[in-house]
Chain A
Amino acid sequence: MTRRIRVAILTSFGAVAFFAGRTGSLNARESVFAKTVWDSVYSVAQAARGETAYAKGCARCHGAALTGGDQSPPLAGSAFLGNWNGQSLVDLQQRIKTTMPSDSIGIYDAKFVTDVVAFMLKANGFPAGDAELSNDDATLKDIAIRASRPAPPN
């Protein structure tokens, strides 16, 4: 894990625009995504495979109901959705592939991880569709995680 140290100068304790240049706004980045997780981006069969994969590879720390536990964060619900809101599925896929499982990082291939992602989408209440979620990075990069359903276009 990379550790960086940043020192910043506070002019007052109300300086909320502090990291504005660095973090960017959700709305500005949102426009670069072709789809969101509300666009039925995985299939029911894939989520079922992912459920089996999750039980095998993830549930021992993150819990059978994705609640998290001890040092493992929840993978469903508002805490998960808040931390990932506005990020892309490739971010989530890469986070899992490069840091999980934490005692044997990288033992699961891209298909396994993508199936788990599909299961996580289902568990968070996002709709399933006909097509499976591809494990191709370029495809995943175009799909935004959104905590709530985007308003329909006018």
Chain B
Amino acid sequence: MQVASRYKLGPIFTPPVVSKADGPLATLARGPTNGGSNWPGGAFDPATHTFYVASSNAAAVVLGLVQPSKDRSDMDWVAGSAAPAGRGGGLGGGGLAVQGLSIFKPPYGTITAINLDKGEIAWQVPHGETPDAVRNNEALKGLNIPRTGQAGFTVGTLVTKTLVIAGDPQVTTLTTRPRGAMLRAYDKKSGAEVGSVLLPAPISASPMTYSVGGKQYIIVAVSGGPYSGEFVALRLPSGGPQ
């Protein structure tokens, strides 16, 4: 609340405001360009008329206007802040986080199955391992935090006869496995997770599948943090899941 109070809040299409150090710093927008459902899109299943789509709930963008110095721009106003969030008064307010925790309520990211015949949500599950900064957070010590999902706009879905497949948009480090991001498979009827494979970096686009020489492959693009872009192709065993 303390962080959000420094920003202008309002309904959809609230315009940017002139940034003032004593507030408002900017208009706080929840995911206009890096949240919600983004360019990877979703996957439509023609058999069941269901659309499977990932969305990010915890993405924030601040829209403030400042007058630039003449050596920077000849525009009257440019995007900026009169007091960047680093001056968070010890809150670590960068990225609109408090003690490393988003100011938004989890789930931070979900996959939703929408029945297009009825226009109803068939199921919705948090997508993505609980981030390290949340799972190991001092402020949450002793609490049992259910999977929060992850914020990220790079999650696309792949639908097969039985599964919905999508990758985590963030790297996590668990004691039970090496550092990495998971590629997950959900039962497309229920949303229950039925399997996962470790990838070396976050997924950076939609998975796709193809077949060569009678073998089926799933290929994903990964990158993020210090990890350069890479394609990873997984070959399914003969007679594996469809």
A residues with CB within 8 A of B: 1-20, 22-27, 47, 51, 54-56, 59-60, 63-70, 72-87, 91-92, 94-95, 119-120, 122-126, 147-149
Contact = CB atoms under 8 A, between A and B. Distances in A.
- B interface SS class: loop
B198 A83 contact: no
Given A77-B97, A80-B95, 17 more contacts: A1-B223, A6-B230, A13-B197, A16-B182, A65-B94, A67-B96, A74-B59, A77-B96, A77-B133, A78-B102, A78-B132, A78-B151, A81-B133, A85-B172, A87-B225, A91-B226, A124-B92
A140 to B, nearest CB: 13
A116 B116 CA distance: 47
Contact of A148 (B85, B93, B100, B235): B100
Contact of B173 (A3, A64, A79, A85): A85
B170 A77 contact: no
Given A14-B196, A68-B34, A69-B33, A82 B133 contact: yes
A74 to B, nearest CB: 5
Nearest to B7: A65
Contact of B84 (A51, A69, A77, A86): A51
Contact of B62 (A47, A63, A76): A63
Contact of B197 (A18, A67, A83, A87): A18
Tell me which of A13, A60, A95 has the highest count of chain B C-beta atoms within 10 A of its own C-beta.
A13
Contact of A64 (B84, B99, B223, B236): B84
Interface residues of B, number: 79
A13 B194 contact: yes
B7 to A, nearest CB: 9
Lowest 7 CB-CB distances: which A-B pairs, in order? A125-B92, A123-B94, A76-B95, A76-B94, A77-B95, A64-B81, A83-B225
B137 interface: yes
B196 A123 contact: no
Given A18-B198, A69-B34, A148-B100, A3 B231 contact: yes
B202 to A, nearest CB: 7
A96 B175 CA distance: 29
A74 B80 CA distance: 16
A124 B199 CA distance: 26
Contact of A78 (B87, B97, B179, B240): B97
B131 A82 contact: yes
5 contacts: A1-B228, A55-B81, A64-B64, A65-B81, A76-B95
A71 to B, nearest CB: 8
B207 interface: no
A60 B60 CA distance: 15
Interface in B183-242: 185, 194-200, 202, 217, 223-226, 228-237, 240-241
B166 interface: no
Given A7-B235, A59-B80, A64-B84, A19 B180 contact: yes
Contacts of B200: 19, 22-23
A10 B216 CA distance: 11
Contacts of A63: 61-62
Given A65-B95, A122-B86, A12 B100 contact: no
B74 to A, nearest CB: 15
B178 A25 contact: yes
B41 interface: no
Given A59-B80, A64-B62, A82-B133, A7 B233 contact: yes
